[in-house]
Structure 1
Amino acid sequence: MRHSGLFGGLAIWLVLSSTAGAEVAITPDVVYGHKSGLAMTMDVFTPTDNANGAGILFMVSGGWYSTWQPPEQQQQRFKPLTDEGFTVFAVRHGSSPKFSIPEAIADVRRSVRFVRANADRFKIDPERLGVYGYSAGGHLSLMLGTASDAGDANAKDPLDRVSDRVAAVVAFVAPTDLRIMVKDAPDRLEAYARFPALDLDLENAQTASPLVHVTPDDPPTLLIAGDQDDLVPIQHSRNIHAAFEKADVTSRLIEVAGAGHGFQGEDARRSTQSMVDWFVMQLAP
């Protein structure tokens, strides 16, 4: 039985009505793979009346730790995207400290392969996939943008034969160079000792750094960061933006004045709208 063509479990459809936007069907706990005897899952949020055929994967990750919440409680978060017709996939990966950053990267790569392989089921265009996330989720989004592949035609697992490339990226307050964050990095910020995921050697840190992988074929990428962020300094975003420009990759950096590692009020509203506008410009028909 091929995993790539199956949801891997019972699909329960819940239709939520919104007076200010589109109705959305929720398919919870879609299984996109297994590891260590555990299922890897995502929740799918599908507009029922204005779907535009594009899919957006959201990286559920903070500190490379992925949490679960009832999807009904998460639906409002994705409303700005579903109102524009995007189908949203909330992807959970294997969490730190049990699983490492390289393992989390492998998980989210598999999630893109799964969504692409099941594009007909989700009623989306497999070539119009975007990805976004905040902090660690932004890092994983950038890894999908800069270090993806076309699949391995000789792989035993049919899903590994499918491309994990995406067509657009939005990364909020994202680490882009883990080489200055891991345990062996000289002069790293003391705050990073609180994150077990950063217990990496420098070789693995380089492999897992989006900044290292920038090439001219990377997808259009929007970076949003606060210029007063003391956890992931804005230089992370500035450096990769400069690398994108040097490689002639379509890219934009929005610096939120006075903001730290997370946005509130009007800053949050504007940054969210910038994300939606980016995906509309890059992915909508």
Structure 2
Amino acid sequence: MKTIFLMICLTWAGQLSIAQEFKKVSYPEGFTEQLNLVYTSVNGWEGKLDLYLPPSQKKGSPLVINIHGGGWNKGVKESQTGFSAFFNRGYAVANIEYRLTGTATAPAAVEDTRCALIHLIRNAKKFHIDVNRIVIMGSSAGGHLALMGGLLENNPIFDSNCPGLKNIKVAAIIDKFGITDVWDWAYGPYKTSASATSWLGDKAKDHEFIKSVSPLYQVKKNSPPTFIVHGDADPIVPYQESVALKAKYDELGVKCEFMTVKGGLHGKFSKEDDEELTRRIMAFLDSISL
């Protein structure tokens, strides 16, 4: 019996190991990779990013910063591999991790996103990055963090772990079905998310704090151009969250494109919709000369 039990345990361990293996990022010849670069350290936790760089150019490369989703409570940067469209256009890619709920509650993930952005701006010359052509992108909780990272601009409210940089900006934000109003996601009429209240921790009923970590309340007249995509049948993050964000952009006259995926679930789009999404994102970036 002990032998059988041991064999079962080893089988489970093997399955778990396989489950944690992710496809390696594929990039064109001439690109280089720098994996697990530390961009911040907080109470013994090290924030790391993977950086993929095109061949050096006289003019710095455009950069896309990618942020994984997972309700702020799960997910790893290694799960993100689909960067071919950016590589083919000569973009550098920074794929970042951040503190999850089990390590630290809100606003930790926002703080880490800001520190990653600030680190890359500070080291732009070293990495041959054009600071005027930085795009920040994410899906689901990563979409929320991309919006927060880009919309805060020079507001240092969540920059205490990486202070001192004065000119913080991105050229564009790409938000894929991200959370835009955390209070609404936690307590709203369409969804009551335990991920939201867990992430908020002891701030779960602090309305003003929740507004401070909600992208909907960070949009200004001079906010970066933003591309939004959301499936209108999303069962996880309500489609109405993106509708409200688009309305705020329109109210303030900020450039914003909103792609609705008919029948789209939470990022589970058809191959045709994924191809159309890529085409429209690239056309959007072209429209702002990136």
Paired position in structure 1 for 2:288: 282
Provide closer, same or farther for how the CA distance between residues 254 and 264 of structure 1 changes in structure 2, counting only shifts above 3 A. Answer: same
Structure-2 separation of matches of 1:188 and 1:254: 20
Q: Which structure 1 segments of 5+ residues have no match?
A: 1-15
Displacement after TM superposition at 1:142 (Å) = 1.0
- Does residue 129 (structure 1) correspond to residue 134 (structure 2)? The answer is yes
For 2:243 and 2:89, the matched residues in 1 are separated by 29
CA contact (8 A) 1:30 1:41 kept: yes
Whether the 8 Å CA contact 1:113–1:162 is kept in 2: the answer is: no
Query: 1:216, 1:249 within 8 Å by CA — same for their partners in 2?
Result: yes
Residue 54 of structure 1 aligns to a residue in which SS? strand
Amino acid at match of 1:227: D
* Paired residues for 1:1-285 under 5 Å: 21-48=28-55, 53-65=61-73, 67-68=75-76, 74=80, 76-149=81-154, 159-182=163-186, 185=187, 187=189, 189-190=191-192, 192-194=193-195, 196-199=198-201, 200-201=204-205, 202-262=207-267, 263-282=269-288, 284=290
Distance 2:160 2:252 in 1: 34
Q: 1:23·1:49 contact (CA, 8 Å) conserved in 2?
A: no
- How big is the alpha-carbon RMSD for the aligned residues of Structure 1 and Structure 2? 2.6
1:106-160 residue CA offsets vs partner (Å, 9 max, x unmatched)? 11111111100000011011122110000001011111232221669xx998753
CA contact (8 A) 1:22 1:83 kept: no
In structure 2, the CA distance between the partners of 1:169 and 1:28, relative to structure 1 (3 Å rule), is same
Relative to structure 1, is the Cα distance of residues 149 and 194 closer, same or farther in structure 2, using a 3 angstrom cutoff?
closer
Q: Which amino acid aligns with 2:46?
A: A
Q: Distance in 2 between matches of 1:236 and 1:211?
A: 9
Q: How many percent of aligned residue pairs carry the same amino acid?
A: 25
Residue 22 (structure 1) shift: 4.9
Deviations along 1:18-43, one digit per CA (max 9) or x if unpaired, are 6xx55421110111110111211100
CA distance in 2 between partners of 1:149 and 1:89 (Å): 21
Equivalent AA in structure 2 for residue 56 of structure 1: V
Once residues 17 and 49 of structure 1 are traced to their aligned partners in structure 2, the CA distance between those partners, rounded to angstroms, is 18
Inter-partner Cα distance in structure 1 for 2:141 and 2:160: 30
Q: Which has the larger radius of gyration?
A: 2
Shift of 1:260: 1.0
Q: TM-score, normalised by structure 1?
A: 0.81
Counterpart of 2:199, as a letter, is: A
Q: Distance in 1 between matches of 2:115 and 2:237?
A: 27
Counterpart of 1:8 in structure 2 is none
Structure 1 residue 275, shift from structure 2 partner: 2.3
Please state how far the C-alpha of 1:162 moved relative to its aligned partner.
Answer: 4.1
Change over 3 Å in CA distance of 1:151–1:25 after alignment to 2: same
